[in-house]
Chain A
Amino acid sequence: MPYIPHTPADQEAMLAAIGVESLDELFADIPPTLRASRLDLPPGKSEDAVLRHLAALAAKNRTDLLSFLGAGFYDHAIPAAVDALAGRSEFVTAYTPYQAEASQGLLQAIFEYQTAMARLLDMEVANASLYDGGTALYEAIMMAVRLTKRTRIVISECVNPIYRVMLTSYTTNLNLTLVTVPQRGGAPDIAALMRALDGNTAAIIVQNPNFFGTIEDYTALFATAHRHDALAILSVYPILQSILRTPGAMGADIAVAEGQSLGLPLSFGGPYLGIMTCRKALVRQMPGRIVGRTVDSTGKTGFVLTLQAREQHIRRDKATSNICSNQALCALRALIYICLLGPEGLQRTAQLAMERAHYAARRLGALPGVRVYNTGPFGNEFALQLPVRAYAVIDALLAKNIVPGFPLGRYYPGLDNHLLVACTEKTSREDIGILAEYIGGCL
């Protein structure tokens, strides 16, 4: 039997040591009425047969598409060294570093990851990671609710709508009110966001660049939030964060991000990486694992999980969160990616993606009846307003194996003619030329 080492002789010796006659005797505590009568699984296959089956399934997926799909999840180049290093089985097959002395490699890596995230987002502290960008945003809200003891959350409609639906799901049972302030021209209405703040507002949530790709400076909004004693929560895109004004500089209390763009493949939606950073004063309300530097009994530097009094295995129902793990391997990938690119490589990647998107906006915006919907500056993604339904273009281009972008009408009623187009450093001018040609052909 695969992966089970016991020979019949081993089993016999072990049963004898236990003092039972058969394996079945070990299951005597399961009442006979509850014994499984059937198990509707196929017979086992050889490793080779499983690999062939999975390769055949993989072949049914089309990954040779020319795609301009982003919407918060981006196809960046991943250096081979990320896979090689993060694939080392000393990392892959370890678990949460409960025994710090036997887990220094992972603990130091997480400490370095926390440092890298704090520096990239220009915030004071980061945790060891959360599941994804959406759950990170939910945890940020819960932090704000605990800290302010208030129940109202103001959120911009420009925050990724996938995350907004998640927040609605999570807050249904919690007597929290989510107030969504509508977007205008792909940008938040800052004045309306300010007006939405009141004495019961726990937090205001915005995103930069927002779902439409628009870039903002939220410094004034955050200052207004602070005048209402509400927390300022900002969701960012890590690659562009290497060049954009930072959450720290804007005065954010909590900054979160989806870390997928930092060396994680798209992989059909996961595993991804929830980045969470905050001001140090709030760290005791931050959920998830946190690694700290300390010394051993001989004075040598080492690393441990710290501030565990916040956590579920000690606090049980009074814990800051039910989270008992992190996305350690994904965090490790992000750290290795950042180390390989360095600040220069990250900024170049961001700038290249932005250059391509701005070129695409010029080309596509010049097509008859087409205009760029964003009224403000944008980064590597932008919305196009088409003279036809977005789906007319998507349907036509899918037939040519081109995914021209994301139909905004899916989440924004009234934007049925609008297409969200993303570029990365992998998008070439030729790709954009092909896109422009085909979109032009459908108008």
Chain B
Amino acid sequence: MKTVFATSRPGRAGVWPPAPQTEPAALIEPRLLREKRPCLPELSELDVVRHFTGLSRLNFSVDGNFYPLGSCTMKYNPKFTEAVAAHPGFTALHPLIPQLRGAGHFTQGALEVLYETERFLCAITGMHAFTLQPLAGAHGELTGVMLMAAYHRDKGNRKTTILVPDSAHGTNPASAAIAGYQVVSIPSHEGIIDPAAMEKVLNEDVAGLMMTCPNTLGLFERHLPRIVELVHSVDGLLYYDGANLNAIMGKMRVGDAGFDIVHINLHKTFATPHGGGGPGAGPVGVSARLEPYLPISRVVKLEDGQYYLNYDYPKSIGYIAPFYGNFGVILKAYAYLLRLGREGVVRVAENAVLAANYLRARLRGHLEIPYDRTCMHEFVASVAELAASHGVRALDIAKALLDRGHYAPTIYFPLIVKECLMIEPTETESKETLDGFVDDLVDIVKTARINPAAIQAAPHHLPVARLDEVRAARAMELTDDAGLSEVMEITAESDTHA
């Protein structure tokens, strides 16, 4: 499709605010004003509607396609939660109102949502307290590492390193490094952390361990109790990356297992939509000894049942977000939790694990499954043999799956398995969908052995064929220039400081 800039017609507009009574120059000196109006699309409302409806049709989504993207928990997002978040009683609320002394009573409903969501998350994870401020999973990680640093600073501990298993999400080492720590990688053994290998790198410099459990191979860290003991023996803290909480929700509470810090992804486990990459939310829970460091503000419930924002936590790490988190996302997760209740939460984990193991069992014999034992919510398959024998790689398999109407699994991750496909079906996909996926995947592998070129050239039936990423990185065409010829002056001006 043409870009929206290429379809612009000067003089059109979709929305016409009333004409102002003055010119800008009547209110402010011309030297403070823009020389030329910005070159932005001029379109009727219908033009805009057609354009974005057209774009939407070029997209795979959970509503349209099976989306077995490992570690992303692309489950169905219930529709009624959208209605909740769109309620004007929530959307029209200015976040600063409860910060005005004496205005807290204007936002009691919103504060109650925050308070109750924190309470639910504490119940599910067994943590002592939560902050809902982190705006995404990676933001939750950064917050968690900041909490770790605050704890050690307060105790006078001199800690410089954070341990991260080699199977961890790339965000873990990145978050630790950004918070000022050195990262020490721990090799996994048979897919999970080996306490003996860990002991070798464990010393007094270790601030903590970041662990994803189940890990990115979909395996539960069976040595967990020993690992917790080891990390705590050097006054290190245990960080739980909750990306894969969907596997164990209701089955195990990470707080009970001894974790000190937890981040969870509301957009994974708690069914809020991924929005094409965001907004998400990454609340962080802590054990009692870390509570004093949580970000401010915090929602407190008074004896009379009223809620208010408390800023009086002298050891707090401060503000990590402007307000109280991605409130619209938190609302959806809260509504989902109310709907599921105690019983539903347990069923989610059971059926997510059932679906993953079913796929693993069905694919056995067709794909390599390097760690072929009971998995949790996801598992990792590999096409390393096929790549060696027929030159058909995981990327090719992924593109061929798109042709059959399935989104592709996560590929080339975790890094420790060659040519891998990381498959997470979630609890919301029916057996027929899972069977259809298996049939297609098996057929693709079969085709790859007979006619590898057909798979290597996939996709054949999508809006575009395989895209040239190398060219994109080299050409660096990051903006459109359609329509810019009319405003050459501005371009020339911006070139002067290039």
Contacts and interface: CB of A to CB of B under 8 A. Distances in A.
A302 B123 contact: no
**Most central of B55, B64, B75, B225 by chain A CB within 10 Å:** B55
Interface string A339-356: 111111111111110110
Contact of A271 (B33, B83, B279): B279
A358 B27 contact: yes
Interface stretch (B14-22, B283-291, B384-392, B445-453): B14-22
B84 interface: yes
Contacts of B14: 79, 81, 339-342, 345
B480 to A, nearest CB: 4
A83 interface: yes
A295 B20 contact: no
Contact of A340 (B45, B80, B102, B179): B45
A194 interface: no
Interface string A65-95: 1010101110101010101111111111111
A385 interface: no
Interface in B147-199: 149-150, 169-171, 173-180, 183
A41 B171 contact: no
B146 interface: yes
Interface stretch (A29-37, A147-155, A364-372): A29-37
A272 B342 contact: no
Given A39-B342, A336-B52, A112 B61 contact: no
B173 A317 contact: yes
Contacts of A33: 225
Interface in A374-412: 377, 379, 391, 394-395, 398, 403, 406-407, 410
Contact of A35 (B27, B251, B340): B251
A290 B275 contact: no
B138 A324 contact: yes
Contacts of B39: 119, 343
Interface string A5-25: 110001101110111100101
Contacts of B32: 215-217, 244-245, 377
B303 interface: no
Contacts of A352: 17-18, 20
Contacts of A290: 478
Contacts of B475: 292-294
Contact of B52 (A19, A109, A281, A297): A109
A186 interface: no
Interface string B245-280: 000101111001100000000000001011111111
A351 B170 contact: no
A322 B142 contact: yes
Contact of B180 (A58, A174, A308): A174
A269 B318 contact: no
A434 interface: no
A321 B170 CA distance: 11
Given A99-B408, A131-B321, A290-B478, A340 B274 contact: no
A102 B274 contact: no
A199 interface: no
A111 B274 contact: no
A294 B326 contact: no
B138 A248 contact: no
A90 B176 contact: no
A304 interface: yes
A31 B13 CA distance: 63
Nearest to B258: A34
A398 B58 CA distance: 49
Contacts of A430: none
Contact of B276 (A73, A329, A354): A329
Given A41-B345, A44-B341, A279-B498, A61 B107 contact: yes
B398 interface: yes
B372 to A, nearest CB: 12
A227 interface: no
Nearest to A42: B341
Given A92-B61, A93-B62, A298-B465, A306 B86 contact: no
Contacts of A123: 494
Contact of A169 (B17, B275, B295, B427): B295
B99 interface: yes
Nearest to B192: A29
B201 interface: no
A169 B318 contact: yes
Contacts of A291: 478
Contacts of A124: 479, 494, 498
Interface string A22-60: 010111111101111101111111110011011111111
Nearest to A132: B322
10 contacts: A18-B358, A57-B109, A85-B56, A91-B59, A108-B3, A134-B321, A215-B32, A280-B478, A339-B4, A341-B17
Given A61-B107, A312-B138, A395-B102, 19 more contacts: A26-B374, A81-B14, A85-B48, A95-B74, A96-B274, A96-B277, A98-B410, A101-B467, A102-B462, A112-B5, A115-B479, A119-B38, A246-B34, A268-B95, A271-B135, A312-B171, A329-B273, A340-B45, A352-B20
Closest 8 A-B residue pairs measured CB to CB?
A58-B89, A269-B323, A44-B341, A169-B318, A329-B275, A60-B109, A269-B95, A271-B279
